[in-house]
Structure 1
């Protein structure tokens, strides 16, 4: 049984802030209301995505790594992580704002939760007029002034709000306070972790529980990065029919690929899996003379042993992710 370009069946997650765009814009197949997240590729325990087609259909990513080892993820990734997959790929639709939150570092997450930390990045796919993201602080604060603002109900006054549009990209390292605002749909690439410290949640009551959601005030105070930046947005260019750097971090690397016509991709020198996320348009990936079609909102996983593929499109934007 040999490996091939793999699509996984997404997992759909109810969220108090979820809307309908994953269904109406990305054509995801679910019936429930308030679906806020589509987990495209996941190795989170209890939430493992499974292969959707081909001879490996029904197998989890973990099972593939256990069976094929570095042929799936590359020697470096396998040596570091073993059968654990280091990344979680999502689409997120926020009808109303997410909670103000922060994620712990690898070291603190390991110590407190026996988990990876949660460094992540956002690529905005759709944004309604005046939609915003909260990223970082808008003024210098320290632990004392932060707690004072939180307790007095003025926390929103010290946070940085950016009005966003399609294509805007943000890297969110652990410790950086953040929230997705209403009217934003985005692709999220992150470490495999579901550890979030919720700081402020607008006093919302979850209709499924009749209660407000738990806050993690004390846990968050010690992990927040209190520094302030002039700009939190990632600057990049997107030349036609080319690949360009988007976010390169110690945890994952993401490029933006614009495909207009036919493009050859050679991964012979890359010791890693590759994930393609279609964020605009549609394209065909061709491997061994077999075409795999992807439309906006679809994701495909290339095992590390696949060295070369061809991409074809009249005009598509694709996120290319690897370790």
Structure 2
């Protein structure tokens, strides 16, 4: 097979906090409150199918089974061979639950599941938008448990204002929540395990309160901090990468293309590009693809030389 950049049909997920904002990217949404677009996924709860080229119609799991290392690279065969990352777009029309994710070693992880370290890049934020990001200094397991029992959990959490271009690294163990008015790209471990601490006493999509996971949450929180970092991401120069997150599971960088930027994949890892703004083309030896905001592309490790053309801002993700 001649390797080429893959684009997938997103798996759309209805969420009580979702809306319709992903339509602005030209994505086809089913009815309902769509909170998550799984853009590149290989998980039991959602597997995306290729839309272009000779692999069109095949799920990422099927592609992985047929082409394995050639596609993912020498570092890409993890978690039983499953694709190591999950790439999402998030539309938060309402506040997400206050939540935390476990790490890989948590003994109560569901069978076959990973922990969940992730990062957010804010694509758009309404005036006054905010997120919850970590515990206030001095909060302990005991004080947090007392606050939960007394209905005062919000007093223990840090609020952070957000704007387009902000970036947040969220290691497992970090209490967090996106809030209303935020549109974000999320790069994360290939996991769908979330423990909820608080959900505003609201009903779920079925009209019933959503399950909370207080004991698991209290068990996995990193009370002394897990290494969460945040930054604004102004780019001083075009055609140069700015590192947003560097974890044991992924590296995420941001770059602004002006005219043409010659790049190359490595045999060690695939590359994922998410288009943030602007327009252009992704060009490789055998073809090209148009770039527009909201697009996500998986470039095989064996692709080799390619270029980004036009006036476009992109995220680049790969395995460390």
Same fold flag (TM > 0.5): yes
1:289-319 per-residue CA deviation (whole Å, 9 max, x = no partner) reads: 51111200010110110111011012x1100
How far apart in 1 are the matches of 2:7 and 2:38? 12
Instruction: Could you tell me which runs of 5 or more consecutive residues in structure 1 were left unpaired when the two chains were aligned.
Output: none
Which residue does the alignment assign to 1:245? 243
Map residues 179-218 of structure 1 onto 2, 5 A cutoff.
179-206=177-204, 208-218=205-215
Deviation readout 1:157-200 (Å, 9 max, x if unpaired): 11010000001000000000000010000000000000000110
Q: 1:81 Cα deviation (Å)? A: 4.2
Question: For 2:310 and 2:170, how far apart are their aligned partners in 1?
Answer: 31
Three-state SS of the structure 1 residue aligned to 2:16 is: strand
Post-superposition CA distance 1:25-50 (Å, at most 9, x none): 22211241210010000011141100
Alignment coverage as a number of residue pairs: 318
8 Å contact from structure 1 (residues 140, 228) kept in 2: no
The alignment partner of 1:136 has SS state of strand
TM score, norm. by length of structure 2: 0.95
Counterpart of 2:120 (choices 122, 136, 142) is: 122
Residue ranges of structure 2 left out of the alignment (5+ in a row): none
2:35 aligned partner: 36
Change (3 A) 1:109 1:74: farther
- List 4+ stretches of structure 1 deviating above 6 A: none
Instruction: Say which of 309, 313, 316 aligns to 1:317.
Output: 313
Q: Check if 1:261 corresponds to 2:255.
A: no
- TM-score between both structures, scaled by the size of structure 1: 0.94
Secondary structure of the residue aligned to 1:89 is strand
- Does structure 1 residue 221 correspond to structure 2 residue 218? yes
Moved more, 28-37 or 159-168: 28-37
Q: Paired residue for 2:293? A: 296
Distance 1:144 1:10 in 2: 41
Q: CA deviation at 1:57?
A: 0.7
Contact 2:115–2:189 (8 Å) recurs in 1: yes
Post-superposition Cα deviations, 1:259-315, rounded to whole Å, max 9, x if no partner, equal 0110000234x510000000111220001151111200010110110111011012x
The alpha carbon displacement at 1:110 in A equals 6.9
Q: 1:7 aligns to what?
A: 7
Distance of aligned partners of 1:229 and 1:112 in 2 relative to their CA distance in 1, 3 Å threshold? closer
The aligned residue for residue 276 of structure 2 is 279
User: Cα RMSD (Å) of the superposition?
Assistant: 1.8
8 Å contact from structure 2 (residues 165, 233) kept in 1? no
Distance, in Å, in 1 between the alignment partners of 2:8 and 2:223 is: 38
| Alpha-carbon distance between aligned partners in 2 of 1:193 and 1:231, rounded to the nearest angstrom | 19
- Summarize deviations over 1:46-82 as a string: whole Å, max 9, x none: 411000121111111121121112110001222x445
Give the Cα–Cα distance (whole angstroms) in 1 for the partners of residues 166 and 38 of structure 2: 21
Q: 2:174–2:228: 8 Å Cα contact kept in structure 1?
A: no
- Tell me the SS of whatever aligns to 2:163: coil
| SS in structure 1 of the partner of residue 5 of structure 2 | coil
Indicate conservation of the 8 Å contact 1:135/1:232, yes or no.
no
Is this contact kept in 2: 1:246–1:256, CA < 8 A? yes
Partner of 1:177: 175
